Amino acid sequence: MGLMTTLVSWPARLPLPTFDGYALEPQDATSRTDMEAGPARQRRRFTGTPTRIPVRWRFRDVDFATFEAWFRLKLADGADWFAISLLGGIGIAAHEARFVGQGNAPYKAVPGRGGVWIVTSVLEIRERPMLDEGALDILLAEDVSGLLAAIDALHSTVHAGLPGANPW
C-alpha cells in the first residue's frame, strides 16, 4: 500500500473494533459473461477493489460522546477517509477507511446497561495491506516453519551466544 495521505486518524483514546461480527468482505474484481454454449468467461476488471468490513465497538459514555463529535467534526459527518489500525491477513496494520454504514445510516448506536454504547457500522477499506509478490513467492517455495526456526536460531546466536557487545 502506498503512503497514506489521510490527515484524520482514529482517536487513540477510543478502542479498536471488537471481534464480534468482524469480517473482511472483498468486493468482486471480476466480470462474468455467460456464453450461449460452453462455460462462462470470467476476467479481471480491476486490480484495486475496496473491501468492506462490518465493525462493532463497545464504548463507555465518554467514548461514545468522543466518537460522535469526532465523526461529525473531524470526518465531515463520515464523508472523509481516515487512518485506523485494523486486523487483516498480515496482522494489525494501518488502513485507510471510511464509513459506508448500513442502509441509510452511517452507523447504529444502541445504549446498554451501565453507560455502555454498542456502535455498529460498515467500513470501506481503500486497499488492504497484504504480502507483496516476493514475500508470497518465498512462502510458497519454502518451509515456513523451518525458515522461522532458522531466523530464531540466528537471532539467539547473535544476541545471546556471541561474546562481546553487538550493534544489532
Residues 117 and 46 in one domain: yes
- The domain tally of the chain equals 2
Q: Provide mean pLDDT across the span 21-26.
A: 75
Total length of the chain: 168
What local confidence, expressed as pLDDT, does residue 168 receive?
55
Distance between CA atoms of 17 and 59, rounded to whole angstroms?
A: 10
Residues 51 and 92 in one domain: yes
Contact 115, 60 (CB under 8 A): yes
Residues 15 and 52 in one domain: yes
What local confidence, expressed as pLDDT, does residue 1 receive?
46
pLDDT tens for 45-79 read 655 678 888 999 999 999 999 999 999 999 999 99
**Cα-Cα-Cα-Cα dihedral of 89, 93, 98, 103, to 10°?**
40
Residues 87 and 164 in one domain: no
Q: What is the 3-state secondary structure (H, E, C) of 87-139?
A: EECCEEEEEEEEECCECCECEEEEECCCCEEEEEEEEEECCCCCCCHHHHHHH
Quote the cell numbers at residue 164: 562481546
pTM: 0.70
Residues 14 and 90 in one domain: yes
User: Can you tell me whether residue 56 is helix, strand or coil?
Assistant: strand
Residues 101 and 139 in one domain: no
**120 or 28, which is more confident:** 120
Residues 117 and 167 in one domain: no
Residues 112 and 148 in one domain: no
**16 or 35, which is more confident:** 16
Residues 126 and 143 in one domain: no
Residues 7 and 70 in one domain: yes
Residues 63 and 146 in one domain: no
Evaluate if residue 95 carries a pLDDT over 80: yes
Residues 93 and 157 in one domain: no
Residue 154: what are its φ and ψ, rounded to 5°? -65, -45
Give the domain extent around 45: 1-130
Quote the cell numbers at residue 54: 462490518
